[in-house]
Amino acid sequence: MLIAQIIVNSSAQELNRIFDYKVPDEYEVGKNIDIGYRVLVSFANYKKLEIGYVIGFKESSDFKCKTISKVCDRAFNKDKFELAKWMAHRYFCNLSDSLRLLVPPGTSNKIDNVKIKYEKWVSLTKDYESYLQNHIEEEKKYKIKSEKQQKIIDFLIDNLEIPASILVDVTGTSMAVVKALEDKGICETFPMEVLRNPFLNKSVKRTKKLDLTPNQQEVLNQIDINKNENYLLYGVTGSGKTEIYLQAIEKVLNKGKNAIVLVPEISLTPQITDRFLARFGHIIAILHSKLSYGERYDEWRRIQRGDARIVIGARSALFAPIDNVGIIIIDEEHDSSYKSETTPKYDARSVAKKLAEYSNCPLVLGSATPDIRSYYKALNGEVKLLRLDKRISTFGMPDVTIVDLRQELANGNKSMFSKALYDEIKKNIENKEQTMLFLNRRGYSTFIMCRDCGYVVKCDKCEVAMTYHVTKNKLMCHYCGAEKKNVSICPECGSENIRYFGTGTQKIEAQINKAFPEASVIRMDIDTTNYKNAHEIILNKFRDEKIDILLGTQMITKGHDFENVTLVGVLAADSSLNISDYRGSERTFQLLTQVCGRSGRGDKKGRAIIQTYLPDEFSIQTAKAQDYERFYSNEIKVREMLKYPPFCDIMVAVISRPRWEKSYWRFEEILWYFQR
Ligand code: ADP
Ligand code: ZN
Ligand code: ZN
What does pTM read for this prediction?
0.77
The span from the CA of 120 to the CA of 187, in Å, is: 13
Ligand 1 pocket test: pick from 243, 261, 330, 331 the residue with the most ligand atoms within 8 Å of its Cβ: 243
Q: Helices then strands (H, E): number in the chain? A: 20, 26
> How many CB atoms sit inside 10 A of residue 671's CB?
11
> How many CB atoms sit inside 10 A of residue 457's CB?
23
Banded model confidence at residue 137, pLDDT cuts 50, 70, 90 = low
Backbone angles phi, psi at 50, to 5 degrees: -105, 150
pLDDT of residue 670 exceeding 70: no
For ligand 1, residues with CB inside 6 Å are 210-213, 216, 235, 237-243, 392
Residue % of the chain over a pLDDT of 70: 85
CB-based contacts of 508, cutoff 8 Å, min separation 6: 416, 437, 439, 551, 571
Task: Quote the pLDDT of residue 543.
Answer: 86
CB-based contacts of 115, cutoff 8 Å, min separation 6: none
Task: Quote the pLDDT of residue 667.
Answer: 63
The answer to whether 13 and 86 are in contact (CB under 8 A) is no
pLDDT of residue 203 exceeding 90: no
What is the average pLDDT across 519-528?
81
Banded model confidence at residue 445, pLDDT cuts 50, 70, 90 = very low
Phi-psi region of 613 (alpha: psi -120 to 50; beta: other; left: phi over 0): alpha
Backbone angles phi, psi at 487, to 5 degrees: -110, 145
Ligand closest to Cα of 479 equals 2
* Residue 590 alpha carbon to ligand 1 centre in Å: 20
Banded model confidence at residue 75, pLDDT cuts 50, 70, 90 = confident
Q: Whose CA is nearest to atom 18 of ligand 1?
A: 240
Task: Quote the pLDDT of residue 371.
Answer: 96
What is the average pLDDT across 90-99?
88
Ligand closest to Cα of 367 equals 1
The answer to whether 68 and 40 are in contact (CB under 8 A) is yes
What is the average pLDDT across 582-606?
86
What is the average pLDDT across 458-468?
82
Banded model confidence at residue 114, pLDDT cuts 50, 70, 90 = very low
* Residue 457 alpha carbon to ligand 3 centre in Å: 10
DSSP 319: G
* Residue 201 alpha carbon to ligand 1 centre in Å: 26
| Contacts of range 482-489, beta carbons closer than 8 Å, 24 or more positions apart | 484/457, 486/448, 487/448, 487/457
The span from the CA of 167 to the CA of 181, in Å, is: 13
pLDDT of residue 189 exceeding 70: yes
What is the average pLDDT across 221-249?
95
Q: Whose CA is nearest to atom 4 of ligand 1?
A: 238
pLDDT of residue 575 exceeding 90: no
Say if strands 363-367 and 230-235 run parallel, antiparallel, or are unpaired. parallel
DSSP 473: T
Q: Which of 230-234, 404-408, 485-489 has the highest mean pLDDT?
A: 230-234
Banded model confidence at residue 220, pLDDT cuts 50, 70, 90 = very high
Task: Quote the pLDDT of residue 665.
Answer: 56
Q: Between 22 and 165, where is the model more confident?
A: 22
* Residue 449 alpha carbon to ligand 3 centre in Å: 8
Task: Quote the pLDDT of residue 579.
Answer: 62
Average pLDDT taken over every residue of the chain:
84
Q: Between 185 and 442, where is the model more confident?
A: 185
* Residue 466 alpha carbon to ligand 2 centre in Å: 8
Task: Quote the pLDDT of residue 442.
Answer: 47
The answer to whether 402 and 516 are in contact (CB under 8 A) is no
Task: Quote the pLDDT of residue 673.
Answer: 62
Query: Does residue 137 sit in helix, strand or coil?
Result: helix
H or E element in which residue 12 lies: none
Q: Is the dihedral of CA 199, 205, 209, 210 positive or negative?
A: negative
CB-based contacts of 308, cutoff 8 Å, min separation 6: 282, 283, 284, 285, 299, 302, 322
* Residue 545 alpha carbon to ligand 1 centre in Å: 25
Task: Quote the pLDDT of residue 666.
Answer: 60
* Residue 488 alpha carbon to ligand 3 centre in Å: 10
* Residue 214 alpha carbon to ligand 1 centre in Å: 13
The CA–CA distances, whole Å, from 430 to 223, 426, 549 equal 47, 6, 12
Ligand 1 atom closest to residue 388's alpha carbon, by position in its atom list? 3
Ligand 1 pocket test: pick from 242, 330, 560 the residue with the most ligand atoms within 8 Å of its Cβ: 242
Ligand 1 pocket test: pick from 279, 386, 392 the residue with the most ligand atoms within 8 Å of its Cβ: 392
pLDDT of residue 152 exceeding 50: yes
CB-based burial label for 492 (10 Å; 0-12, 13-18, 19+): middle
Task: Quote the pLDDT of residue 112.
Answer: 53
What is the average pLDDT across 90-111?
80
Q: Which of 406-410, 574-578, 670-674 has the highest mean pLDDT?
A: 406-410
What is the average pLDDT across 162-170?
82
What is the average pLDDT across 460-479?
76
β partners of residue 38: 53
pLDDT of residue 47 exceeding 80: no
What is the average pLDDT across 149-155?
86
Ligand 1 atom closest to residue 216's alpha carbon, by position in its atom list? 23
Q: Between 336 and 555, where is the model more confident?
A: 336
The answer to whether 167 and 152 are in contact (CB under 8 A) is yes
Ligand closest to Cα of 210 equals 1
The span from the CA of 100 to the CA of 107, in Å, is: 9
Task: Quote the pLDDT of residue 488.
Answer: 82
265-291 pLDDT, tens digit per residue, is 654 566 778 889 889 988 899 887 777
354-385 pLDDT, tens digit per residue, is 999 999 999 999 999 999 999 999 999 999 99
pLDDT of residue 421 exceeding 70: yes
pLDDT of residue 118 exceeding 90: no
What is the average pLDDT across 184-188?
88
Ligand closest to Cα of 406 equals 3
Nearest partner of 168 among 185, 182, 151, judged by Cα = 151
The answer to whether 181 and 148 are in contact (CB under 8 A) is no
The span from the CA of 542 to the CA of 529, in Å, is: 14
Banded model confidence at residue 671, pLDDT cuts 50, 70, 90 = low
The span from the CA of 467 to the CA of 584, in Å, is: 13
What length is written for the chain? 676
Ligand closest to Cα of 331 equals 1
Q: Which of 128-142, 212-226, 259-273, 648-662 has the highest mean pLDDT?
A: 212-226
H or E element in which residue 585 lies: helix 584-596
What is the average pLDDT across 564-585?
82
Q: Between 454 and 506, where is the model more confident?
A: 454
